[in-house]
Structure 1
C-alpha cells in the first residue's frame, strides 16, 4: 500500500469587489477603470478566465494554499490593490451545468412555433376574404 500526500487541488473561483472611491485615489496608472483590466491580465497569467463581472474561474487546479499565495502575490504587484479591495474570495468551483444553449434553443423553438402559428392565422384570414 502506498501512502502519500492527498491531492487536494481543485478548480477555483476568485470573486472580488473594489471600492471605486479608493481606486480613484490610489490607482495612479491611468484611468481607474483600467484597474479591473489589470487584475484580469494578472489572473490570466495564472490560467483564470473572466466569467462575469469580477468573477474569474481557473482552468487549472490549485490547492487552497496555492490560491492564497496567488492572492498575496496579486496584492504585492499592484500596490494599490490592498487599499482598494472591499472583498476578495476564493472558493472551489461548484459543479456547474451551462444551460445557455438549451435556453437559447427553447427561445428559437418558441419563435418558430409563434411564426408558424401567425403564418397559419394569416393564411386562414386570406381564405375567409
Structure 2
C-alpha cells in the first residue's frame, strides 16, 4: 500500500444558483454559502476568495475526499446544487496585495510632497 502524503489543501466549488433556490430549504438560498463557510471553518479551512477555501492543517487526498463526503452528509442540499467541487494541493503563493497598496501610498505621498513644494515655490515668487 502507498503512503498517503498529507499536504495543505484548497477546495474550490461552484454552485448552481437555480438548483439552490429549489433545494435549499433553510430560508434565503444565499445562506448556503454561509453554511459551507461555517462547515469548512470547523474543519480548519479559511476563506481565501470567492468560493475558494484553504486548509490550515494538512490532509491526504483520501482525507479530503472523506471531508467532502462529510460536508455532503451534513449539508443535504449540496449534491443537488453543486456544479463542481475540486480539491488540490495548495500552491506556493506570494501575496502581492501589500506591495500594491504600498505603491499607492507612496504615490500619494510623492504627489502631496510635489504639491507642497509647488505651493512654496509659487509663494516665493
**Aligned position for 1:57:** 54
Residue 109 (structure 2) aligns with: 112
Structure 2 partner of 1:83: 80
Deviating 4+ runs (over 4 angstroms):
none
Q: 1:107 and 1:7 mapped to 2: Cα distance? A: 45
Unaligned runs of 5+ in 2: none
Q: CA RMSD in A?
A: 1.5
* SS of structure 2 residue aligned to 1:70: helix
In the aligned structure 1, how far is the partner of 2:16 from the partner of 2:120?
Answer: 60
Give the total of aligned pairs.
Answer: 125
Deviation by residue 1:16-63 (Cα, 9 ceiling, x = unmatched): 110111000000011101000000111111100011111100000000
Superposed CA deviations along residues 53-95 of structure 1, whole A, max 9, x for unmatched, are 1110000000001001111111111111000011101000000
Q: Which residue of 2 aligns with 1:29?
A: 26
Report the TM-score, using the length of structure 1 for normalisation: 0.91
Question: Which runs of no fewer than 5 residues in structure 1 stay unpaired?
Answer: none
